[in-house]
């Protein structure tokens, strides 16, 4: 609390024997400024309620959280204990209007804690996690509130609701049941305790993972060891070392996946192995060990599922997903896994042949292909097969061209939207860019933020999230952010992206379009508020435009000369699109299987901390997916998707499930003329704007006209059996 304003008076006692000295005038200290207002307590006055980042301070969040929870408790209590008979408006719509302060604080905190964290925010996250879990439980398990919801649900056929309102009622009822609203008071108390413990453990897991990535960089003593990296990458490694007080050295920082980008470039095999081991063993042992947290999280989730009447947590989680049950997920993982493993073993044989050939030519001993070798020799194989490598391609993928002439260009061609940069709006980091997005008729769509660079205060990976959701009920338009983790370069150096990074930019922008184009009445059903195995569908689909000839030809221009990528190189990039398809599919399916295996355990069957890694290995072996040169995309100790409570627990399979829908959609676009405004308008109207106003399977079939077909995905991934001629 700021001290009250205090005025200090200075005076001098006049001496009688010195009457000639004039009295010193009274000097009043300027009044202290009034207490600073917490900017989170009221809606932002910036366009579309864009957050006032220049005013928000860490100290604002705790009082904001506490005030937000208190305010929502009062709002919900008034709804639950109203003497008026329950109606859709005074119960369901009223709930949709509640919690505006808490939502505003949670969105600002969650995004900043992910993108620009510090010790204060992380400590507050740990403090608030169990309080927020208890707050959510108190609302969803409130007997009086659920009685009103349940009564309306029983009468739903006679309420005369429009389809979107009927879906909203369905979602509120399902949320209450899944949260334990029908349990006995004793079981509710147990469930609340489990949820509180889980929230704390999941927060600790994420903080350990973030710290392990930050601290796990590999220190290099000699620049000679970095042979193969570009000048920009070497400069970035030197800068990373300097920020850690290691002047005269270099640091290879870690990204959140098992395999690191530098493994495809570094010629020093010993350094490649060091980087791989640092990456694959982080958060496994030592001060930030996550294995004990994993064991406890899995145990608590199994107990939670059992309390709610499900045999396993996977059964509980998938009952509300498009996949419906674990059997469906396991089947698609097994079917795709077999094809991926077969292809990966063929790819491995090709790489081993290169290793053996080089050893013979150099008169050195050959060695068996290891995980830290794959990317390096795959790059050589790719170059030999298609006569190009990343070093030739990256100069054509300068970041500004990729975004403006690629990502934005494709969206303009498909949907007629345009992007205007706003340099006057405040940001939380100097590298963040802000854009207004407008429809072809000039009307506002929303505000888009791009935060593309890696930094120590930022979690790994790539993601999209909202600061403000679209909702007609609340008069809101979306404010959205896309996050990537592109390694920064030295000042004055161009940001040259790998094709994987380019594809990721298109992927995350697909999520952004799903949020920007939301056109729903209710916030609960808006934008990306869909199950994980559907939310990845628009993003997976949007990836296709990264390699579409019309789009690639517009953005793939040399950063120095401005010349378009030569057609010959362009054709090779397209031809190489499916290169390494077995590896890429297998590393993902391995991770998805690890997730499912943990969450298909019943109460009492979960491993202890010492058995976590052995269980992971056994799960892959039992599924027939074990292949040493191809490690899972994530090992359990840094598998944040699954162990932080972000919605992907027993849900990492969602990417492949969604990709089936995405490749079917790509086939539909190709059959109907490709990159056209007419096609984009259909997809926007039938999928991107609809959120969860209908169930995902219904929305997809309404667009596609039939059930999903796995064929286009197998073909796209290069996993299908070649047709006989």
- Give one DSSP letter per residue of 536-604, joined into a string: HHHHHHHGGGGS-HHHHHHH-B-TTT-PBPPHHHHHHHHHGGGTTHHHHHHHHHHHHHHHHHHHTPPTT
Distance CA 637, CA 616 (A): 11
Upper half-sphere CA count for residue 84 (Cβ side, 13 Å): 8
Which helix (DSSP H) or strand (DSSP E) does residue 484 occupy? strand 479-486
Q: Name residue 250's beta-bridge partners.
A: 220
Q: SS3 breakdown of the chain: % helix, strand, coil, rounded to 5?
A: 55, 5, 35
Phi, psi angles (nearest 5°) of residue 537:
-65, -55
Contact indicator for 675, 548 with CB cutoff of 8 Å: yes
- The catalytic position among 206, 233, 508, 616 is 508
Q: How far is CA 151 from the centre of its chain?
A: 37
Distance CA 310, CA 55 (A): 47
As to burial, measured by CB atoms within 10 angstroms (0-12 exposed, 13-18 middle, 19+ buried), residue 594 is buried
Q: What is the 3-state secondary structure (H, E, C) of 179-213?
A: CCCCCCHHHHHHHHHHHHHHHHHHHHHHHHHHHHH
Question: Smallest Cα–Cα separation from 532: which of 607, 642, 432, 455?
Answer: 642
Q: Name residue 227's beta-bridge partners.
A: 229
Distance CA 472, CA 631 (A): 46
Which helix (DSSP H) or strand (DSSP E) does residue 482 occupy? strand 479-486
| Residue located via tokens 């949007």 | 542
- 508 classed as catalytic: yes
DSSP strand pairing (479-486 vs 444-453): parallel
Would you call 250 helix, strand, or coil by DSSP?
strand
**Burial code of 404-428, b = ≥16 C-beta within 10 A, e = fewer?**
ebbbbbbbebbbebbbeebeebebb
For 328-474, where are the E strands, in sequence order?
Answer: 418-421, 433-438, 444-453, 463-468
Distance CA 395, CA 497 (A): 8
| Residue located via tokens 């379009």 | 513
Q: Which residues contact 338 (CB under 8 A, 6 or more apart)?
A: 624
Q: Which residues contact 69 (CB under 8 A, 6 or more apart)?
A: 102, 131, 132, 135
CA-to-CA separations, 99 to 8, 75, 149, in angstroms, rounded: 44, 8, 18
- Structural tokens at position 249: 């050295």
| Angle at 439 (CA atoms; ends 435, 440), nearest 5 degrees | 120
Distance CA 524, CA 530 (A): 9
Q: What is the dihedral of CA 695, 517, 406, 654, to 10 degrees?
A: -20
Under DSSP, the state recorded for 676 is -
CA-to-CA separations, 609 to 162, 209, 284, 327, in angstroms, rounded: 51, 16, 10, 27
Contact indicator for 76, 98 with CB cutoff of 8 Å: yes
- Give one DSSP letter per residue of 489-530, joined into a string: --TT---BPPHHHHHHHHHHHHHHHHHHT---S-GGGSTT-S
- Active site positions, annotated: 508
């Amino acid at each position: 609390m700021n001290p009250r304003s205090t005025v200090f008076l200075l005076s001098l006692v006049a001496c009688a024997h010195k009457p000639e000295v004039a009295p010193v005038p009274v000097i009043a200290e300027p009044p202290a400024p009034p207490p600073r207002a917490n900017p989170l307590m009221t809606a932002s006055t910036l366009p579309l309620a864009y957050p006032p980042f220049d005013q928000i301070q860490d100290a604002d969040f705790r009082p904001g959280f506490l005030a937000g929870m208190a305010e929502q408790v009062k709002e919900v209590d008034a709804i639950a204990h109203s003497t008026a008979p329950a109606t859709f408006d005074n119960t369901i719509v009223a709930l949709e209007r509640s919690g505006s302060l808490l939502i505003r604080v949670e969105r600002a905190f969650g995004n900043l804690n992910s993108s620009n964290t510090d010790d204060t925010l992380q400590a507050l996250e740990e403090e608030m996690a169990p309080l927020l879990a208890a707050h959510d439980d108190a609302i969803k398990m409130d007997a009086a509130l659920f009685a009103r919801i349940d009564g309306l649900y029983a009468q739903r056929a006679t309420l005369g609701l429009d389809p979107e309102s009927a879906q909203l009622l369905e979602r509120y009822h399902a949320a209450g049941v899944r949260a334990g609203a029908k349990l006995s008071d004793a079981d509710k108390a147990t469930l609340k305790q489990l949820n509180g413990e889980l929230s704390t453990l999941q927060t600790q897991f994420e903080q350990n993972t973030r710290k392990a990535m930050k601290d796990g960089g590999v220190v290099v003593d000699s620049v000679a060891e970095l042979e193969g990296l570009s000048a920009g990458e070497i400069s970035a490694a030197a800068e990373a070392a300097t920020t850690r007080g290691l002047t005269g050295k270099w640091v290879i920082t870690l990204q959140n996946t098992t395999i690191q980008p530098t493994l495809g470039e570094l010629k020093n095999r010993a350094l490649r192995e060091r980087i791989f081991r640092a990456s694959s063993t982080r958060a496994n042992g030592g001060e930030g060990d996550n294995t004990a947290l994993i064991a406890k999280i899995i145990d608590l989730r199994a107990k939670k599922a059992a309390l709610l009447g499900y045999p396993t947590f996977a059964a509980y989680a998938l009952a509300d997903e498009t996949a419906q049950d674990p059997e469906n997920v396991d089947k698609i993982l097994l079917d795709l896994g077999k094809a991926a493993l077969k292809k990966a073993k063929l790819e491995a044989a090709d790489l081993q042949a290169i290793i053996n050939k080089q050893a013979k030519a150099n008169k050195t001993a050959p060695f068996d292909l290891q995980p830290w070798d794959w990317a390096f020799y795959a790059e050589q194989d790719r170059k030999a097969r298609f006569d190009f490598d990343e070093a030739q391609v990256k100069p054509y993928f300068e970041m500004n061209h990729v975004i403006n002439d690629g990502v934005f260009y494709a969206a303009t061609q498909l949907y007629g939207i345009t992007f205007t940069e706003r340099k006057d709006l405040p940001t939380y980091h100097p590298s963040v860019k802000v854009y207004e997005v407008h429809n072809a008729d000039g009307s506002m769509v929303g505000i888009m933020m791009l935060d593309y660079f890696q930094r120590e205060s930022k979690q790994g990976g790539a993601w999209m999230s909202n600061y403000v959701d679209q909702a007609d009920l609340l008069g809101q338009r979306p404010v959205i952010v896309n996050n990537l983790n592109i390694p920064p370069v030295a000042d004055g150096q161009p940001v040259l992206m790998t094709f994987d990074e380019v594809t990721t930019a298109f992927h995350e922008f697909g999520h952004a379009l799903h949020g920007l184009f939301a056109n729903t009445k209710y916030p609960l059903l808006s934008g990306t508020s869909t199950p994980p195995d559907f939310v990845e569908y628009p993003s997976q689909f949007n990836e296709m435009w990264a390699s579409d000839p019309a789009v690639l030809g517009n953005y793939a221009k040399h950063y120095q000369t401005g010349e378009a990528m030569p057609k010959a190189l362009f054709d090779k990039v397209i031809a190489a699109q499916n290169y390494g398809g077995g590896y890429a599919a297998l590393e993902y399916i391995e991770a998805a299987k690890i997730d499912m295996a943990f969450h298909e355990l019943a109460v009492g069957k979960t491993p202890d901390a010492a058995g976590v890694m052995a269980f992971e290995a056994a799960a892959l072996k039992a599924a027939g997916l074990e292949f040493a040169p191809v490690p899972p995309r994530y090992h359990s100790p840094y598998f944040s998707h699954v162990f932080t409570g972000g919605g992907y627990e027993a849900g990492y399979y969602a990417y492949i499930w969604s990709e089936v829908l995405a490749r079917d959609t790509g086939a539909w676009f190709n059959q109907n003329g490709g990159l056209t405004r007419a096609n984009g308008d259909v997809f926007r109207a039938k999928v991107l704007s609809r959120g969860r106003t209908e169930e995902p399977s219904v929305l997809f079939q309404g667009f596609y006209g039939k059930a999903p077909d796995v064929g286009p995905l197998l073909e796209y991934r290069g996993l299908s059996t070649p047709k006989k001629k």
